Amino acid sequence: MILLSLHSHTNLIFNPGKVKLKAAMDKIKAGQKIRENLPESIHLLLELIKLPSTRGNEKEIGRLLKRRIEDYADAAEYVALPDSLMNDPDYSFKLDDFSYAGTANLRLKLKGQGNGKTLAFNTHLDVVPPTPGQENAFSPFIKDNKIFGRGACDAKGQVAVMWLLLKTLHDLQLRPGGDISVDFVVEEECGGNGTLWVVRQGLQAGGAVVFEPTGLQVANLIRGAVWFEVQTRGKAGHSGSPGSTVSALQEAIKAIKSIEKLREELLEVSRRSLPQIALHPNPMPCTFGSLHSGNWPSVTPAEATLKGVFGFLPPFRREDIQAKLREAVGPDQAEIKFNMLNSNPSFIEENHPLVRALLEAATEAHIDSKPEFMNASCDAWRYTEQLEIPAVVFGPGLLSAAHSSEENMPVDDIRRAALALIYFIDKWSGLEPAG
């Protein structure tokens, strides 16, 4: 069944004759080798999940991964993040008394044969802290052919896919036509500081794939996000003298209502220009994550702090959103700051060669994939905008499972993703026997 299916696809996309037959045989070998290597990739994923690589605790995971993967690349190097990065205008979520000593991205390089397009891959090693109710988040287990644990799909499962891909290419002695770089980065979850360092060092590639859990859909539209902090001011006083007090808490509630109204207005604009989001019930979510105010029930609070994240889409950019949020909360009783994550949307057209190549590859791997909208922010915009490299987002696992108490990764999705990506590299850059 596999032989007939793969052979029928090659009839459509390869030249007739011996090349077509050879391509079909190579694909069968790739599928077989991926199945052989899958158990070892699962073992690696279990090891990675056991490392609680939350922010500031990302040193050990890079060292472990380097040992496990460096034999399958032409070069593997740590790329240390300097403390000076914290002064970068695009740096996100600055912490007091923080140092990067020993924290690094891991970069791999595969040298191409000089006759194909170049490619960049990216995924992240850090995870968010355990979710309330997620007991033993860093003690992974397998149930119903799924791997459970913090980072299973976001994004250590993506790392396992890349390991499986590189190990299979190595075993089959296949080499891409163009150079391939792979960046395993830190600090994606707090705003993308690891990929920011990739940007500042400079990178050139014909296309990029950023790995996140998309359910094996090819995401060509990824929303942006602006994290905000609103501080409202009032006048404290006794509950018995309401005429002489101003509640900072009520001012914060007014700010919430104003921000919600702004979101509705901007969403209507984006819906008119992006038919891809028409079926999504809330493609521009605004989340109010925390509100702190007061210390006694009968005292009107003089200060309140509201924190949240404003999701948005083209045609808007982060500068637009920041300006509109400032206007929405007003200057009289509130001050707004944007000192955390501030990312633009990422978008390339559905007919872009990068999108088409990955969709065709997914089809050949028996994945029902289509151009999709990803209702979350990630590092893709740093490629499309800051590096001017067209990028898509792709990966196994579901976004709805990420950051949840039931975070998991289906084992077979790792296999299917790796197979689709081998086909994709062949379409984009070409794969030929080494030597």
Whether residue 12 is found in the same domain as residue 29: yes
Q: Residue 61 above 70 pLDDT?
A: yes
**pLDDT, position 365:** 96
pLDDT, tens digit, 9 for 90 and up, residues 68-81? 999 999 999 999 99
**pLDDT, position 50:** 98
Cα–Cα distance measured from residue 199 to residue 206, given in angstroms and rounded to the nearest whole number? 15
Q: Which two tokens stand for residue 63?
A: 């060292």
Whether residue 76 is found in the same domain as residue 114: yes
Q: Which two tokens stand for residue 229?
A: 């902090």
Whether residue 252 is found in the same domain as residue 277: yes
pTM of this structure:
0.91
Q: Residue 200 above 80 pLDDT?
A: yes
Using DSSP bridges, classify how beta strands 286-293 and 303-312 pair: parallel, antiparallel or unpaired. antiparallel
Q: Residue 5 above 50 pLDDT?
A: no
Q: Find the mean pLDDT for residues 165-178.
A: 96
**pLDDT, position 24:** 55
Whether residue 293 is found in the same domain as residue 280: yes
CATH of the domain at 397: 3.40.630.10
**pLDDT, position 18:** 32
Whether residue 327 is found in the same domain as residue 378: no
Confidence of residue 59 (pLDDT cuts 50, 70, 90): very high
Cα–Cα distance measured from residue 253 to residue 258, given in angstroms and rounded to the nearest whole number? 9
**pLDDT, position 10:** 33
Whether residue 218 is found in the same domain as residue 354: yes
Whether residue 207 is found in the same domain as residue 84: yes
Total tally of structural domains belonging to the chain: 2
Whether residue 282 is found in the same domain as residue 393: no
Q: Residue 17 above 60 pLDDT?
A: no
Angle between helices 2-13 and 18-49 (to 10 degrees): 120
pLDDT, tens digit, 9 for 90 and up, residues 94-113? 999 999 998 999 999 999 99
Confidence of residue 190 (pLDDT cuts 50, 70, 90): very high
Confidence of residue 1 (pLDDT cuts 50, 70, 90): very low
CATH of the domain at 256: 3.30.70.360
Q: Residue 387 above 60 pLDDT?
A: yes
Whether residue 284 is found in the same domain as residue 370: no
Whether residue 358 is found in the same domain as residue 415: yes
Angle formed at CA 123 by CA 73 and CA 88, multiple of 5 degrees: 110
Among 341, 361, 389, the domain-final residue is 341
Q: Residue 15 above 80 pLDDT?
A: no
Mean pLDDT, all residues of the chain: 92
Among 341, 369, 394, the domain-final residue is 341
**pLDDT, position 26:** 79
Whether residue 309 is found in the same domain as residue 375: no
Confidence of residue 169 (pLDDT cuts 50, 70, 90): very high
Among 302, 319, 341, the domain-final residue is 341
pLDDT: is 129 or 22 the higher one?
Answer: 129
Whether residue 191 is found in the same domain as residue 52: yes
The range of the structural domain enclosing residue 319 comes to: 226-341
Q: Find the mean pLDDT for residues 263-271.
A: 96
**Of all residues in the chain, what percent carry a pLDDT higher than 70?**
94
